[in-house]
A = this chain, B = another copy of it.
Amino acid sequence: MPNLTAAMLVIGDEILSGRTRDSNMHHLAGELARRGIDLREVRIVADDHFAIVEALNALRAVWDQVFTSGGIGPTHDDITADAVAAAFGVRIEVNAQARAILAARYESMGTEFNEARLRMARMPEGATLIENPVSGAPGFSIGNVHVMAGVPAVFEAMAASVLSGIIGGVSLLSQALIILRPEGEIAGPLSTLARDFPDLAMGSYPFVRNGVFGAQVVIRGTDGARVDAAMLRLAALFPQAGE
């Protein structure tokens, strides 16, 4: 059975303007890899209704699972729930369960449950809740789309909750070797090795450190013995790399 595929949609002017450096994508990528789910595409769009609708419809049609981050708070620029409803062609409504969770939380805190906060209970018809143990206001899933907050602590908690309910595929195993030679000398032998192991994925990630050129060569596959065999061949090709 092939692995599940996934995509992520990051919604946020603050990422595109360079003001904030995204961390949610990197977090999710690691969590998905650990579970054997292949993250295949990420898109980052502005807080713009049509941009969100278009990107979401493109991604959810192609990949098994889609994760979004950002735009589900109480302020006027939080337009993700409306855009998701539009993408699915369903009405947006105040979700009774979400409203009850928020009402209980604000009551226990002695805080007013005002109109802005009620906005956070607005969800597409048919959505199911994603628990938010950090700040209360839940995310939601609809179809194969999981809508989560942009604040990293909240995003990570919601991602853990969603991922516990998704069965992953076979974990991808990987091994890496750092080779302190310019990539131009690694390329030829690596290409031959890749042809000899068509069942494995081999990537070369070059770097420059203190003026020294090198590359980290990563070999990935689902069969550990094959990954081991290829890695042994690679190490033999570049014997000085073991240092």
B-binding residues in A (CB < 8 A): 13-23, 25-26, 28-33, 38-47, 51, 73-77, 111-112, 114-117, 119-120, 134-135, 150-151, 153-154, 172, 174, 182-188, 190-191, 194, 201-208, 213, 215, 218, 220
Give the residues in chain B near A194, CB-CB below 8 Å.
76-77
| Contact status A190-B39, CB under 8 Å | no
| Contact status A191-B76, CB under 8 Å | yes
Interface of A is mostly: mixed
Beyond the given pairs A18-B33, A117-B187, 15 more chain A to chain B contacts, judged by CB atoms under 8 angstroms and listed by A's residue number, are: A13-B201, A14-B205, A18-B32, A19-B33, A25-B44, A41-B45, A75-B186, A76-B190, A76-B194, A76-B202, A77-B203, A116-B183, A116-B188, A120-B184, A153-B208
A20 → chain B closest CB, angstroms: 7
| Contact status A43-B40, CB under 8 Å | no
Task: Give CA–CA (A44, B15) in the complex, Å.
Answer: 14
Give the residues in chain B near A42, CB-CB below 8 Å.
15-16, 42-44
Q: List 21 A-B contacts (CB under 8 A).
A: A13-B203, A17-B29, A18-B29, A21-B23, A21-B26, A42-B44, A43-B43, A75-B191, A76-B190, A77-B202, A77-B204, A112-B185, A115-B188, A116-B183, A119-B187, A120-B184, A135-B213, A150-B205, A151-B207, A153-B208, A154-B208
A33 → chain B closest CB, angstroms: 5
Number of copies: 2
Task: Give CA–CA (A47, B220) in the complex, Å.
Answer: 14
Task: Give CA–CA (A25, B28) in the complex, Å.
Answer: 17
Task: Give CA–CA (A153, B116) in the complex, Å.
Answer: 44
Task: Give CA–CA (A191, B78) in the complex, Å.
Answer: 11
Give the residues in chain B near A41, CB-CB below 8 Å.
16, 43-46, 51
| Contact status B206-A73, CB under 8 Å | yes
Of all chain B residues, which has the CB nearest A120?
A: B184
| Contact status B74-A203, CB under 8 Å | no
Give the residues in chain B near A218, CB-CB below 8 Å.
14, 19
Of all chain B residues, which has the CB nearest A220?
A: B17
A152 → chain B closest CB, angstroms: 9
